[in-house]
């Protein structure tokens, strides 16, 4: 084992995580969640066209590989005259992906709130939108935290695909050092270890968040 190589490469790889993987994940997830909520509400709309559009979107996102989506945006769009640089391409692809998967999670969570909650909200005079915002979504949020956390953790790992469209992140740093040193095993295991540490940290944060959100539920 070449410990010296591990020592010198750890800096760039961790920098790739801090400056690439993590901000890419955070930005994509934040935008993706907003999109997911919008798509979920569209999907629940009584207007056929609106819910149909949402359904089609979800179907396309879930029915095609993320890598292919990424390539369409970065390598495909330039040929129709739309060139997007690596970072924005990655953020667009990842947030659209979270938007599709997250929409189904949020929709299910909204539907899991008992009908009586809508009725009580109406009884105290709330129209639909207000009832959704003040009564339904806070309860749906609690239900959707575990599955959305899983989406988040998957996203951390999926961002490694961005290395293929030239985004400098954790895995691309490892690849570049490996190409020079030819120590593929050392560097890829090291990259895996850094991903693992990040995900371990996130899982802990997830359980803390779930415990906090559980405070108004009987055990």
The answer to whether residue 129 forms part of the interface with other proteins (CB under 8 A) is no
Q: Does 130 bind other proteins (CB under 8 A)?
A: yes
Q: Assess 139 for contact with other proteins (CB under 8 A).
A: yes
Whole-angstrom CA distances from 125 to 31, 87, 98, 118 are: 32, 46, 34, 11
Q: Which is nearer to other proteins, 7 or 46 (CB)?
A: 46
Q: At its nearest, how many Å lie between other proteins and the CB of residue 112?
A: 13
Find the Cα–Cα–Cα–Cα dihedral 209, 212, 214, 219, rounded to 10°: 120
Asked whether the beta carbons of 97 and 87 are under 8 A apart, the reply is: no
Closer to other proteins by Cβ: residue 117 or 181: 117
Q: Does 1 bind other proteins (CB under 8 A)?
A: no
Task: Please answer whether residues 39 and 54 qualify as being in contact, where contact means their C-beta atoms are separated by less than 8 angstroms.
Answer: yes
| Cα–Cα distance, 17 to 191 (Å, whole number) | 9
b/e 200-219 (16+ beta carbons within 10 angstroms → b) = eeeeeebeeeeeeeeeeeee
**Of 24, 70, 132, 135, the one binding other proteins by CB under 8 A:** 135
Binding mask 58-97 for other proteins (x = CB under 8 A): ----------------------------------------
Residues 104-123 that bind other proteins (CB under 8 A): 114, 116-117, 119-123
146 binds other proteins (CB under 8 A): no
| 19, 53, 126, 153: which one binds other proteins (CB under 8 A) | 126
158 contacts 178 by C-beta, under 8 angstroms: no
Instruction: Out of 47, 80, 129, 218, point to the residue binding other proteins (CB under 8 A).
Output: 218
> Which of these segments, 27-35, 80-88, 102-110, 138-146, binds other proteins (CB under 8 A)?
138-146
**134 near other proteins (CB under 8 A):** yes
Kindly identify the residues of this chain, within the stretch 176-215, that bind other proteins according to CB under 8 A.
Answer: 215
115: number of Cβ within 10 Å = 8
Who contacts 216 (Cβ-Cβ below 8 Å, separation ≥6)?
none
Torsional class of 113: left (φ above 0), alpha (ψ -120 to 50), beta (otherwise): beta
Where do contacts with other proteins occur on this chain (CB under 8 A)? 114, 116-117, 119-127, 130, 134-135, 138-139, 142, 215-218
């Amino acid at each position: 084992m070449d410990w010296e190589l591990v020592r010198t490469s750890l800096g760039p790889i961790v920098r790739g995580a801090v400056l690439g993987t993590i901000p890419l994940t955070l930005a994509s997830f934040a935008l993706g969640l907003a999109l997911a909520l919008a798509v979920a509400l569209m999907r629940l709309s009584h207007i056929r066209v609106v819910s149909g559009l949402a359904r089609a979107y979800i179907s396309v996102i879930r029915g095609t590989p993320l890598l292919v989506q990424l390539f369409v945006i970065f390598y495909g769009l330039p040929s129709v005259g739309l060139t997007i640089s690596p970072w924005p391409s990655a953020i667009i692809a990842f947030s659209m992906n979270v938007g599709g998967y997250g929409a189904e999670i949020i929709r299910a969570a909204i539907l899991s709130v008992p009908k009586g909650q809508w009725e009580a909200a109406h009884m105290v005079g709330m129209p639909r939108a207000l009832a959704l915002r003040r009564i339904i979504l806070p309860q749906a949020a609690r239900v959707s935290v575990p599955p959305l956390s899983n989406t988040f953790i998957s996203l951390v790992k999926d961002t490694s695909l961005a290395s293929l469209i030239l985004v400098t992140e954790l895995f691309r740093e490892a690849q570049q050092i490996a190409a020079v040193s030819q120590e593929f095993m050392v560097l890829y295991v090291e990259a895996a270890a850094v991903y693992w540490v990040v995900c371990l940290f996130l899982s802990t944060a997830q359980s803390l968040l779930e415990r906090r959100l559980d405070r108004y539920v009987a055990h």
